[in-house]
Amino acid sequence: MSDFRGPAGAAQIQGNLTDRQKTMLNAAALLCVLGILALFNQYGSEYHVRILNNMAIFVTLAVSYNLVNGVCGILHLGPNAFVAIGAYTSALLTMSPAEKQLNFIINQLIWPLSVVQAPFALSLVAAGVMAALFAFMISFPVFRVRGDYLAIVTFGFGEVVRVLCNAAQSLTNGPLGLKNLEPYTNLWWSWGIAILTIVSITKLINSSYGRAMKAIREDETAARAMGIDPFRPLLLAFLISAFFSGIAGGLLVHLITTVSPTLFIFTLTFNLLIIIVVGGLGSTTGAVVGAMLFAWGGEALRIVENPVDLGIIVIPGIPGMRMVVFSLILMLVIIFAGHGIFGRREFNWEQLARFLSRGGKRVGSP
Amino acid sequence: MSFFEMRHVIVQFGGLCAVCDFSIALGAGELVGLIGPNGAGKTTVFNTITGFITPTEGDIFWQGQNIAAFPAHRVTASGIARTFQNIRLFGDMSVLENVMVSFHFSMESNFLLAMTGSSKHRGLEAEIREKSRRHLDELGLGHLASEKASTLAYGQQRRLEIARALATGPKLLLLDEPAAGMNPIETIELAALIRLIRDQYGVTVFLIEHDMKFVMGLCERIKVLDYGKSIAEGTPAEIQKDIKVIKAYLGSGYHAGG
Amino acid sequence: MTTTIFLQQLVNGISVGSLYALVAIGYTMVYGILRLINFAHGDLLMVAAYAAIFGIGIFSNPWIAFPLAILITGCIGVLLDRAAYRPLRNAPRISLLISAIGASFLLENLFLVIFGGVPRPFPRPDFFARVIEIGGLRIQVLTIYAPLITILLVLGLLYIVYWTKAGKAMRAASRDFETTRLMGINLDRIIALTFLLGSCLAAAGGIMWAMKYPQVNPFMGIFPGIKAFIAAVLGGIGNITGAVIGGFLLGLGEIMIVALMPELAQYRDALAFVILILVLLFRPTGIMGETTVE
Ligand SMILES: Nc1ncnc2c1ncn2[C@@H]1O[C@H](COP(=O)(O)OP(=O)(O)OP(=O)(O)O)[C@@H](O)[C@H]1O
Ligand SMILES: [Mg+2]
């Protein structure tokens, strides 16, 4: 699917593949994914397509969130703000002026926005840019502090944005939100962005920039002594994370075709946190797998909240049950299996090959 | 003007004067020791030089600039590297990666080139990798390149810290108790390594050490610190005879000389 | 704005501030020892409110129900530490904080599952609900009692912390965790006591909060909790007196700003964060904190 490269040591292990071979394998995997998407696009039920779209959006969000929390090792609790900003930006750009007028009945939308309209692709770029711009603005207070303080400050910015979504009515239409967006988001868009995010962020993590981020995570003092100004790698991670989260926000609202402030409450951040913790903090592979499990599991768990009709009796749904399960999972993983599924390991072809050949031998030996 | 000079540096923590009116001048290519009882303020001197602490008063001249107010990363970029008393490696990264980090600040690329995997950036990465590998080989750590730093033996970790500091390309290297926790053989090897760094790399070395035999055998000049104040300076032979030094060490249970 | 309204708001601010103060103490005490923001602390407010509702339902006497609710909440606080934090004493800090966030969500949603999401009215005892008139001001007596009760409780706490053996151990632990451990003090006991005291105070705050805004729901603890945390930072985290002062200042500031500039009312919840960010930017050690070098 992408250029997952293991830690520096991987190249030394014998029986390794050449770069060319790996590129071929990556290309083959990409083709496979595209094939599967094409199949679902053609024959999949609406339900399955929706889950797949959700998966892609969560993959994008989780991989970008992991860049900050897992790779840089800081606890940022405000990705919901990035998603919100991207969502509103993108929605306000794709809606036609007429539709906007229908939506904004109490307060008028402020001027330039009330008349402009942009194609979806452009609106997504704008969504990413606006979110990154916001990240840039808050980065100075955020990176003045570390640890729990950083967590609470980013949480605070997330809340401030949520409050603004409700209050800045001539921009967001307040609690009423925006309705009747065009359902632009399809499998090609959502997975295209997801793959782009995975590939580019993986390349970044495996570059010198990624090493600087990890060095800060491991020991910030030592990183400074090695000539690294911590602010710069942290800011970089923050901006890139915000950029892709903003785009994901745009995708999300054009999937469900409405925007409402309740989409961007802290629960969104909480869900992303579960995903990257379960997948393994610091592992992009973990974030991808975690996100897919979450999108699928979240849908599967919906049954516990919906009434179940057994023909004779109806078991009423239990609201909140899903979150109980999720928070239990989070706590159990963090307490008993702190490394999650992947730890900090990444998928790589060599290990897969070795794993398969070992498995093959065992099957063949008796 | 000296190669490196600290003039009347004062560092205060609340009421405590951790470093009081400290001055020193180092010549290019010298190998100088800084000794003193526990809590004398030696590490604080290093922290002040390397920008982790801004001195309350005083100047630090280096390469024609006053670097007293520089942040740590700028000090490193200006050619002063250090190791830490309590080892601070990037534990979860490989030995090779630990060294590669040192080349980051001087890398001339940008994140967009990195994210798009441009060939220019890939070339730079390969270059850093190659340089780091060679560097590890030279310092006798080549065979450990793919090990996780936290799994190394203690002596190897100290060595890696030195290798990593050296990879930033310093002209002045500060070593904070490099021999601490090493066995006698490792200590001898370390002394050889430090000489090699000075002679072959042409790096000036300023080091803190409690092991008197080590310091006296290695350093050409020694500065003694007690309660934040410099109480003596001279050749090892002079320091061993200095009455004030003997008193300071007797007071804290150490033995000068040997 | 007339003087009457101004005074009314002033009293109101002090009263809200006293509740922030009670909750802030728990944050500050736990942070002092564990260096952990106990995210679930605010939810104890909600736990106490539910416990009080059922207490009154059973005993129909607030003087039995309230202390019982406070005690139960205190025990849940200790349980929280035992289950969610103690296993992570040697884990990376980020794990501890994540566990705290998980615990907070767990408490909220567990209560949602058990008691449903429909807000329950809080049975306000007449003793607190009475309204008196002082010089044209109509004030609910709770508004006056809240700061008084807070001050009494704080004095009690300060007595424990400064004059008892356990309190001294607690202060030693917050100054130097490792040394205290080496001195042979049972740290887990001290931490449990910290959680017990902090949670009991939060519970008292929660019950008064529920009497002031008599709607009890599983998520009612979030905002008072966050604001109390901000109050703790404002006062200088780790410092009990600071937390109290921070609580009063925040409550007063919030209410007065909205009173003076009513157009800011809808931003009230964001205001506290702005204050937090400003404090962290310009005086990260808070009002009462000493400036120490990290
Ligand atoms: N960041 C700080 N804040 C407050 N006091 C400090 C700080 N750093 C050092 N000190 C104090 O300054 C004094 C000097 O400490 P320093 O670490 O420089 O001593 P040292 O000579 O390196 O001792 P050792 O041989 O034990 O390493 C000590 O009393 C120490 O407690
Ligand atoms: Mg020292």
Query: pLDDT tens digit string along A312-352?
Result: 776 667 778 889 999 999 999 999 988 899 988 888 888 88
* A151 interfaces chain C, CB cutoff of 8 Å: yes
CB atoms within 10 A of CB C126: 8
**Are residues B196 and B207 in contact, defined by beta-carbon separation less than 8 angstroms?**
no
Give the torsion sign (CA, A285, A286, A292, A293). Answer: positive
Residue B68 sits in the same domain as residue B116 = no
Distance from the A180 Cα atom to the nearest Cα atom in chain C, whole angstroms: 27
C-beta separation of A232 from B127 below 8 A: no
In sequence order, what are the residues at sequence separation of 6 or more whose Cβ sits closer than 8 angstroms to the Cβ of residue C191?
A: C33, C34, C81, C86, C173
Neighbours of chain C (3+ CB pairs under 8 A): A, B
C245 residue type, one letter: I
Q: Which of C112, C12, C72, C37 is nearest to C206 (CA)?
A: C72
Q: Do C109 and A324 touch (CB under 8 A)?
A: yes
* B126 part of a folded domain: yes
CB of B36 within 6 A of ligand 1: the answer is yes
Tokens of C184: 């042979």
pLDDT-derived band at A11 (thresholds 50, 70, 90) equals very low
Residue C156 lies in a domain: yes
Q: How many CB atoms lie within 10 A of CB A90?
A: 33
Q: Using the Cα atoms of residue B245, residue B250, residue B251 and residue B252 in order, give the sign of their dihedral.
A: positive
For chain A, the chains sharing at least 3 beta-carbon pairs closer than 8 angstroms are: B, C
Q: What is the pLDDT of residue A315?
A: 65
Q: Do B90 and A221 touch (CB under 8 A)?
A: no
What is the number of domains present in chain B?
Answer: 2
pTM of the entire predicted model: 0.91
Residue C265 within a domain? no
Residue C292: band (very low, low, confident or very high) from pLDDT cuts 50, 70, 90: very low
Question: Whole domain around residue B137: which residue ranges?
Answer: 94-167
The shortest CB-CB distance from B168 to any of A204, A210, A227 is to A227
Please indicate, yes or no, if residue C149 is contained in any of the structural domains. Answer: yes
pLDDT of residue A14: 46
Look at residue C179 and tell me whether its pLDDT is greater than 60.
yes
Of the residues B139, B167, B195, the one at which a domain ends: B167
Longest CA–CA separation in chain A, Å: 76
pLDDT at C55: 94
Given the CA of residue C292, which atom of ligand 1 is nearest to it? 3
pLDDT (0 to 100) of residue B251: 64
Closest residue on chain C to A305 (Cα)? C113
Specify the pLDDT at position C1: 60
Q: Is residue B89 part of a domain?
A: no
Higher pLDDT, A168 or C204: C204
User: What is the DSSP code (8-state) at residue C117?
Assistant: S
The Cα A74–Cα A85 span in angstroms is 22
Residue where a domain stops, chosen among B151, B167, B183: B167
**pLDDT interval class at B236 (50, 70, 90):** very high
For residue C290, what is the nearest residue in chain B, using CA coordinates? B14
From the CA of B44, give the closest atom in ligand 1. Answer: 18
pLDDT band at A226 (very low <50, low <70, confident <90, very high): very high
Q: pLDDT averaged over chain A?
A: 89
Do B178 and B255 lie in one domain? The reply is: yes
DSSP strand pairing (B221-226 vs B229-234) = antiparallel
Site of tokens 């912390």? C161
> Is residue A7 predicted with pLDDT exceeding 70?
no
Whether C80 maps to a domain, the answer reads yes
**pLDDT number for residue A6:** 44
The count of other CB atoms within 10 Å of the CB of residue B51 is: 23
Atom 5 (ligand 1) nearest CA: B13
How far is the alpha carbon of A157 from chain B, nearest alpha carbon, in Å?
A: 26
Domain ranges of chain A: 12-264
B89-116 pLDDT, tens digit per residue, is: 999 999 999 999 999 999 988 999 999 9
State yes or no: pLDDT of B131 exceeds 90. yes
Domain end point (choices B113, B142, B167): B167
Contact partners, residue B248, CB within 8 Å, separation at least 6 = B36, B37, B224, B226, B231
Asked whether residue A10 carries a pLDDT value surpassing 50, the answer given is no
Q: Is residue C61 part of a domain?
A: yes
Dihedral-angle region of residue B69 (phi above 0 means left; psi in -120 to 50 means alpha; beta otherwise): alpha
Q: What is the pLDDT of residues A268-310, one digit of tens each?
A: 999 999 999 999 999 999 999 999 999 998 888 877 777 766 6
Helix (H) or strand (E) holding C156: helix C141-163
The answer as to whether B141 is a domain residue is yes
Please list every residue in chain C whose beta carbon sits closer than 8 Å to the beta carbon of residue B13. Answer: 293
Site to probe by mutation for ligand 1, drawn from B9, B16, B35, B44 as the one with most ligand atoms within 8 Å of Cβ, is: B44
Domain limits for position C113: 14-219
What is the CA(B44)–ligand 1 centre distance, in A? 6
d(Cα A74, Cα A235) in Å, to the nearest integer? Answer: 12
Average pLDDT, chain B: 93
**Segment B227-243 mean pLDDT:** 92
Structure confidence at residue B254 (pLDDT): 52
The helix (run of H) or strand (run of E) holding residue B72 is helix B72-77
Atom 31 in ligand 1: residue holding the nearest Cα: B39
CA dist., res. A313 & res. A83, Å (int)? 41
A246 and A130 Cβ atoms separated by less than 8 Å? yes
Q: Which domain CATH number covers B250?
A: 3.40.50.300
Q: Does domain A12-264 have CATH number 1.10.3470?
A: yes
Residue with tokens 């632990």: C173
Q: Where are the beta strands (DSSP E) in chain C?
A: 120-121, 131-134, 137-140, 215-216
Has residue A259 got a pLDDT over 50? yes
- Mean pLDDT: which of A142-151, A161-170, B119-128 is highest? B119-128
Tell me what pLDDT residue A359 has.
61
3-state secondary structure chain A: CCCCCCCHHHHHCCCCCCHHHHHHHHHHHHHHHHHHHHHHHHHCCHHHHHHHHHHHHHHHHHHHHHHHHHHCCCCCCCHHHHHHHHHHHHHHHHCCHHHHHHHCCCCCCCHHHHHCCCCHHHHHHHHHHHHHHHHHHHHHHHCCCCHHHHHHHHHHHHHHHHHHHHHCHHHHCHHHCECCCCCCCCHHHHHHHHHHHHHHHHHHHCCHHHHHHHHHHHCHHHHHHCCCCCHHHHHHHHHHHHHHHHHHHHHHHHHHCCECHHHHCHHHHHHHHHHHHHHCCCCHHHHHHHHHHHHHHHHHCHHHHCCEECCCCEECCCCCHHHHHHHHHHHHHHHHCCCCCCCCCCCCHHHHHHHHHHHHHHHHCC
Q: Which of B167, B170, B186 is nearest to B178 (CA)?
A: B186
What gap in Å lies between CA C125 and CA C147, rounded to an integer?
A: 18
Return the DSSP state at C272. H
Q: What is the pLDDT of residues C282-291, one digit of tens each?
A: 877 777 765 4
Are residues B8 and B41 located together in one domain of the fold? yes
Atom of ligand 1 nearest to the CA of B14: 4
DSSP C243-268: HHHHHHHHHHHHHHHHHH-GGGGGGH
Residue C232 lies in a domain: no
A29 in Cβ contact with A174 (< 8 Å): no
- Report, as an integer, the average pLDDT of C106-127: 91
- Does the pLDDT at position A365 exceed 70? no
* Res A32 pLDDT > 50: yes
Residue B181, token pair as written in the block: 């926790």
**Beta B31-35 vs B221-226: how paired, if at all?**
parallel
B154 in contact with ligand 1, CB cutoff 6 A:
no
Within a domain: C251: no
pLDDT tens, residue by residue, C22-62: 999 999 999 888 888 899 999 999 999 999 999 999 998 88
Instruction: Answer whether B40 contacts ligand 1 (Cβ < 6 A).
Output: yes
> How far apart, in whole angstroms, are the C-alpha atoms of residue C23 and residue A152?
17
Q: Which has the closest alpha carbon to B19: B29, B6, B5?
A: B6
pLDDT band at B250 (very low <50, low <70, confident <90, very high): low
Task: Give B224 Cα–ligand 2 centroid separation in angstroms.
Answer: 13
Which of C223, C43, C105 lies closest to A274, judged by CA?
C105
Residue of A nearest to B129 (CA): A8
Range B9-28 average pLDDT: 93
The predicted structure's pLDDT at residue C7? 85
CB B139 within 8 A of CB B162: yes
Residue A318's pLDDT is what? 77
C-alpha–C-alpha distance, residues A334 and A280, integer Å: 10
CA-nearest of A288, A291, A287 to A66 is A287
**A225/B84 Cβ within 8 A:** yes
Whether pLDDT at A5 is above 60: no
Name the domain count of chain C. 1
Pick the residue with more confidence: C184 or A46? Answer: A46
Other CB atoms closer than 10 Å to residue A152's CB: what's the count?
A: 23
- Give a yes or no: residue C199 inside a domain: yes
